[in-house]
Chain A
Amino acid sequence: MKKESGFTWKLGMFVIIGLILFIGTIYFVGKQKNLFGNTFHLKAQFKTVSGLKEGNHVRFSGINIGTVNGIELITDTSVLVDLIIKKNVQKFIKTDAVARIGYDGLMGDKVLTITPGTGNAKTVGDNALITSKSAVEMADIMNSLKTSVDNAGIITGQLAEVSFKINNGNGALSKLISDDGFSNSIKGTLINLQASTDQFAKFTTNLNNGALSSKLDSTMSNLQSGTKGLSDNMDAVKNSFLLRGYFKKQKKAEAKKKADLKKAADLKKRNTLKDRINLKTKDIPNHSNLNAKDSIKQ
């Protein structure tokens, strides 16, 4: 009988500590959830939500004030997003506030930001529909980048035309250059000038219709697909079962990190930030290089 009570208390202790750990965790996690105890709903309509997901954060003036509760297609071109927002910020959101979908950090997670309206508008009500600005898509950025590159192409083309005309044309400038009345000393200089212009012409023709321009173009598109690849990778990482839940809450951690940065402006943390920027600039060209090699093979 002595032996029996000997193991009973150990077993009891074992089970009770286990239960306390479990219930304690549940309690604290539950407490965290209930921070959003009092909430209200807002709605916003978008053409595209660019991958916004349920559970993504809603930010107002850079503060997390709620989460995306539901996303619903209402017509073939519009999506209704339902937001749960803390009650105590309702008074700051005016009827002319604007919802936008943006990026949250490097990982490419989406966040819905609400920009405050003007002070004299009325406060939003429950379930109100606020205006929205279409999301800035990565693809759009890349498209506009491409247009700039195209424009540069046209400009260099025109420049080439001009210099060609200077060389061989019959215009006033050309006459001036070829006039016998000019002194021979200038002529020597002009020969030099002509040689360099020739080279410039060669360069610009190349640039205009040759390899360089298209190379630049393909670099841009590679850059685009490279970035997309990175974002895909990140999506894959996010979707992998292990880390999925983790990334869902990364913004929480991110917000905390920012707060930390603000608070403690120590060097170490600045270095981390620098690393991050370095990574951004370092990593993307790597990708495009790889892709460029592939496209050459093809």
Chain B
Amino acid sequence: MLISLKNIFVNAGHVTLFTGRFFKEVLRPPFEIKEFLRQCYIIGYKSLPLVAITGFIMGLVLTLQSRPTLAEFGAESWLPGMVALSLIREIAPVITALICAGKIASGIGAELGSMKVTEQIDAMEVSAINPYKYLVVTRVLATTLMIPVLVVFADAIGIYGGYVGVNIHSDLNMFRYFQQVLDSLDFLDIIPATIKTFFFGFFIGLIGCYKGFTAANGTESVGKAANEAVVAASLTIFIIDMLAVQITDLFF
């Protein structure tokens, strides 16, 4: 009991140090720009199809599911606005982040984990290349910047999915639909939701890297690192989301 409590503190300490190291190293040259761009490409561009498909389905399904309720109130004309708001404020950021936790955090966890196990990280270290800078900083930066972009795509494609959903039951032209969507939007819907996606991205990258970087020796710890990265990242996303909503609620 006491030992497990101590372990929790030890782990928390490790995570804090690991996070602190990121902020220390991110500003200090040399910068691994090429690797950063490569990671942006892998994390951002390569995740786009997945995010696009989920975004479209979310928008479509959300529209179809909300329509009966709104129709009961005779408020079908609120459908575009409601779908857009739900997507932008909550669903697109969280679903995209969860998908990326599954795809990216686990990918990073497994990649760094196997690099650790096969001594590739040690090899970098002995050749006097800072593996933290090359592997962690680039990836965390890339997720922090790419997840928000992916969320913007998910928003846009999700809203388009909503348009398709609306048009299954009624006939609304594209221009009117987007007009209604934009009408219902406010800065307060966009800005906090966007800010939180940066945090999602940061933690997806950080947790994936942490789990991979601190993997034990042995190949089975690679799978463990990937698995733990997904679980921890998903949980963190929900916690951040809750905090973000509370904070937004508090101030606005």
Residues of chain A whose beta carbon lies under 8 Å from any beta carbon of chain B: 4, 7-8, 10-11, 14-15, 17-19, 21-22, 25-26, 28-30, 32-33, 106-107, 241-243, 245-246, 248-250, 252-253, 256-257, 260, 272-273, 275-276, 279
Smallest Cβ-Cβ distance to A250: which chain B residue? B78
Q: When the two chains form their complex, are residues B82 and A243 in contact, meaning their CB atoms are under 8 A apart?
A: yes
Cβ of A32: which chain B residues have Cβ within 8 Å of it?
182-183, 185
Q: In the assembly, what is the distance between CA of A28 and CA of B148, in Å?
A: 19
Contacts A/B (CB < 8 Å), 16 sampled: A10-B41, A14-B48, A18-B152, A21-B153, A21-B156, A22-B152, A25-B185, A25-B190, A106-B73, A241-B245, A242-B90, A246-B78, A246-B82, A253-B81, A256-B180, A275-B71
Q: When the two chains form their complex, are residues A11 and B183 in contact, meaning their CB atoms are under 8 A apart?
A: no
Instruction: Give the contacts of B87-105 with A (CB-CB under 8 A).
Output: 89-90
In the assembled complex, the CB of A152 is this many whole angstroms from the nearest CB of chain B, namely 34
Q: When the two chains form their complex, are residues B45 and A253 in contact, meaning their CB atoms are under 8 A apart?
A: no
Contact-residue size bin, chain B (C-beta under 8 Å from the other chain): 35 or more
B149 is contacted by which of A15, A273, A276 (Cβ under 8 Å)? Answer: A15
In the assembled complex, the CB of B72 is this many whole angstroms from the nearest CB of chain A, namely 7
Residues of chain B whose beta carbon lies under 8 Å from any beta carbon of chain A: 34, 37-38, 40-41, 44-45, 48, 71-74, 76-78, 81-82, 85-86, 89-90, 148-150, 152-153, 155-156, 180, 182-190, 194, 245, 248-249
Q: When the two chains form their complex, are residues B81 and A246 in contact, meaning their CB atoms are under 8 A apart?
A: yes
The verdict on A246 contacting B153 (CB below 8 Å), with A15-B44, A29-B185 known, is no
Smallest Cβ-Cβ distance to B78: which chain A residue? A253
Cβ of A273: which chain B residues have Cβ within 8 Å of it?
74
A242 is contacted by which of B89, B153, B185 (Cβ under 8 Å)? Answer: B89
Smallest Cβ-Cβ distance to A261: which chain B residue? B77
Q: When the two chains form their complex, are residues B77 and A253 in contact, meaning their CB atoms are under 8 A apart?
A: yes
In the assembled complex, the CB of A27 is this many whole angstroms from the nearest CB of chain B, namely 10
Q: When the two chains form their complex, are residues A253 and B180 in contact, meaning their CB atoms are under 8 A apart?
A: yes
Smallest Cβ-Cβ distance to A3: which chain B residue? B38
Q: In the assembly, what is the distance between CA of A256 and CA of B185, in Å?
A: 15
Most buried by A among B71, B90, B149, B180: B149
Q: A252-B184, A272-B71 are in contact. List 4 more A-B contacts (CB 8 A).
A: A11-B37, A21-B155, A246-B82, A272-B74
Q: In the assembly, what is the distance between CA of A18 and CA of B155, in Å?
A: 10
Count of CB-CB pairs between chains A and B under 8 Å: 109
Q: When the two chains form their complex, are residues B76 and A245 in contact, meaning their CB atoms are under 8 A apart?
A: no
Cβ of B186: which chain A residues have Cβ within 8 Å of it?
29, 33, 245, 248-249
The verdict on A11 contacting B41 (CB below 8 Å), with A21-B153, A25-B190, A246-B82 known, is yes
Q: When the two chains form their complex, are residues A246 and B85 in contact, meaning their CB atoms are under 8 A apart?
A: yes
Smallest Cβ-Cβ distance to B88: which chain A residue? A25
Smallest Cβ-Cβ distance to B48: which chain A residue? A14
Q: When the two chains form their complex, are residues A33 and B187 in contact, meaning their CB atoms are under 8 A apart?
A: yes
Q: In the assembly, what is the distance between CA of A276 and CA of B71, in Å?
A: 9
Q: When the two chains form their complex, are residues B89 and A245 in contact, meaning their CB atoms are under 8 A apart?
A: yes
Most buried by A among B38, B152, B188: B152
Q: When the two chains form their complex, are residues B72 and A252 in contact, meaning their CB atoms are under 8 A apart?
A: no
The verdict on A253 contacting B183 (CB below 8 Å), with A14-B44, A21-B152, A21-B156 known, is yes
Cβ of B74: which chain A residues have Cβ within 8 Å of it?
272-273, 275-276, 279
A14 is contacted by which of B45, B85, B180, B188 (Cβ under 8 Å)? Answer: B45
Cβ of A241: which chain B residues have Cβ within 8 Å of it?
89-90, 245, 248-249
Cβ of A279: which chain B residues have Cβ within 8 Å of it?
72-74
Q: When the two chains form their complex, are residues B183 and A26 in contact, meaning their CB atoms are under 8 A apart?
A: no
Cβ of A29: which chain B residues have Cβ within 8 Å of it?
182, 185-187, 190
Q: In the assembly, what is the distance between CA of A109 and CA of B116, in Å?
A: 59
Q: When the two chains form their complex, are residues A249 and B153 in contact, meaning their CB atoms are under 8 A apart?
A: no
Cβ of B190: which chain A residues have Cβ within 8 Å of it?
25-26, 29
Q: In the assembly, what is the distance between CA of A224 and CA of B186, in Å?
A: 35
Q: In the assembly, what is the distance between CA of A22 and CA of B155, in Å?
A: 9
B45 is contacted by which of A11, A26, A276 (Cβ under 8 Å)? Answer: A11
Most buried by A among B73, B74, B180, B249: B74
The verdict on A245 contacting B189 (CB below 8 Å), with A8-B37, A10-B41 known, is yes
Cβ of A26: which chain B residues have Cβ within 8 Å of it?
187, 190
In the assembled complex, the CB of B76 is this many whole angstroms from the nearest CB of chain A, namely 7
Q: When the two chains form their complex, are residues A243 and B85 in contact, meaning their CB atoms are under 8 A apart?
A: yes
Q: In the assembly, what is the distance between CA of A17 and CA of B146, in Å?
A: 12
The verdict on A18 contacting B149 (CB below 8 Å), with A33-B187, A246-B82, A256-B77 known, is yes
Q: In the assembly, what is the distance between CA of A28 and CA of B188, in Å?
A: 14
